[in-house]
Structure 1
């Protein structure tokens, strides 16, 4: 009988302690981990803030190779949403980007399985002498008595955050050191001094081909008469690309060696250091080369400014080569 009383007292003490703990332990908890990545902040934000890249470094994707996911909305922008369905280890849920600033991305995280819960997730980016410091944090709340688990959450989920950040570091540093993007190799070049002779205008996308054909023909015939020293193939120089109005501010021009002027035509001096992509294919597909150059600039921490001259040089004459896969267009981004 005495032993039974002792057991009852022990049970009662455990219950009292448990009940007290339920009300003493906060219902809120925060988890946070950081890592420094040797890559420009803009690149790291791109790798961390786009869901198509998140699946490459997420620690939970490894737990279920058969996990399915969908991405809705404009990836990497406010309102874009990532939803997943997986095994018992990863469960089911979604993440939605709610805020983006220069140094921070905030998301709403919703778990549906194996249990329902909500959390606020943030990724903070800070430029340091060693690259970019990334802090991955999660704030959540557990209803009583589930809050008894809160003191253990750091130990349970912390290693996942550390693993994910380590993968983000590898991914970002690999991209930062690469010279190939979207299947194109980007080469640093020195463009010899030259002057592009032609016409500059605001042109609707649908009118670009006739504008170039007419301007190339007129400029070329005059340059031949003047016996001007040609420095390359017919080219387009792009000053503004206006997607909203489907138009561009551009010049169609012929490059001539050194400084040169021609009455009735505009002159655009060029030359110096820059970057080049050799694009093969139909003209309407050359946009991928420009996207690749954008990715390169991001990876190298370079800024796309008005001081960069964007040039397409049409090396292959389409009137003599029918196979569009053999059409060579050199895409130059030259620092003015």
Structure 2
């Protein structure tokens, strides 16, 4: 009987302690982890703040190789949504971007299984001594009596955040140190001083081939008559690329050595240090080279400005080489 009383007192004491804890422990929680990545902030934000990249470094993907995922909306922008469904370890839920600035991405996290809950997650980016500090955080609330879990949230979530940030750091620093993007190598190079002689106009995408053919032919014919010292293959120079109206402001021109003018044609001087991609393939696929160059600039912390001269140099004559995989186009990005 005495033993029973002791057990009863212990149980009552535990009830009192647990009840007190329920009302003493806060319902709100916040978990944060940070790491410093040796890469430009724009690149870190791209790798951390886009769901297509999040899928590569988040720590939960390894828990279920057969997990199904989907992305809706414009990735990286407000309204984009990442949804997943997997085994009991990962459950089912979604993340939706609710706000984006130049230093922060906010998301709404919703779990549907194994239990229903919501939380706010965020990524904060800060430039520090040439590197980028990224902070990954979560904040939310557990209603009583589930608030008893609040003191353990930091341990539960924190170790996963640490693992995820470590993978993000490894992945992003590898990209930042690379010179190959989309399978295309970017080279630093020196373009010899030259002048491009040709015609400049606003051209619809559908009319580009015809514009280039007539302009190249006219410029080449006149330059041949003048015995001009040519410095390369026929080239297109792009000044504006207007996707909304499917048109471009461009020049179709022939390069000649040094300074040069030709009556009836415009002259576009070029030369100096820049960047080059040697692209092999059909002309309609050359956009990959420009996307790769954009990725390179992001990875190296460079800016795409209006001062850049964007040039495509058509090395291979398609009339003598039927295999499009052998067509070489040199893509140059040269400061004006």
TM bracket, shorter-chain basis: over 0.9
Q: Which residue pairs with 2:264 in the alignment?
A: 264
Q: Which residue pairs with 2:305 in the alignment?
A: 305
Q: Which residue pairs with 2:326 in the alignment?
A: 326
Cα distance in 2 between the residues matched to 1:147 and 1:238: 60
Deviations 1:8-44 (A, max 9, x none): 2221121121112111111110000000000000000
How much has 1:92 moved relative to structure 2?
A: 1.1
For structure 1, list consecutive stretches of 5 or more residues without a partner in the other structure: none
For structure 2, list consecutive stretches of 5 or more residues without a partner in the other structure: none
Give the 5 Å matches for 1:1-336: 1-336=1-336
How much has 1:2 moved relative to structure 2?
A: 2.9
Deviations 1:230-279 (A, max 9, x none): 00010000011000111111111100000000111110000001111111
Cα distance in 2 between the residues matched to 1:306 and 1:178: 25
> Which secondary structure does the structure 2 equivalent of 1:186 belong to?
strand
More deviation, 312-321/183-192: 312-321
> Which secondary structure does the structure 2 equivalent of 1:219 belong to?
helix
Cα distance in 1 between the residues matched to 2:248 and 2:142: 54
Cα distance in 2 between the residues matched to 1:154 and 1:64: 23
Cα distance in 1 between the residues matched to 2:66 and 2:244: 40
Cα distance in 2 between the residues matched to 1:295 and 1:108: 28
Cα distance in 2 between the residues matched to 1:175 and 1:115: 37
Deviations 1:81-134 (A, max 9, x none): 111111111111111111110000011100111111001010000000150000
How much has 1:79 moved relative to structure 2?
A: 1.1
Report the number of matched residues.
Answer: 336
How much has 1:6 moved relative to structure 2?
A: 2.4
Cα distance in 2 between the residues matched to 1:99 and 1:253: 45
Aligned 8 A contact 2:276 2:330 in 1: yes
Cα distance in 2 between the residues matched to 1:77 and 1:224: 52
Give the RMSD, CA atoms, in angstroms. 0.9
How much has 1:4 moved relative to structure 2?
A: 2.2
Cα distance in 1 between the residues matched to 2:272 and 2:138: 48
Cα distance in 2 between the residues matched to 1:212 and 1:98: 45
Aligned 8 A contact 2:189 2:276 in 1: yes
Aligned 8 A contact 2:37 2:132 in 1: yes
> Which secondary structure does the structure 1 equivalent of 2:77 belong to?
coil
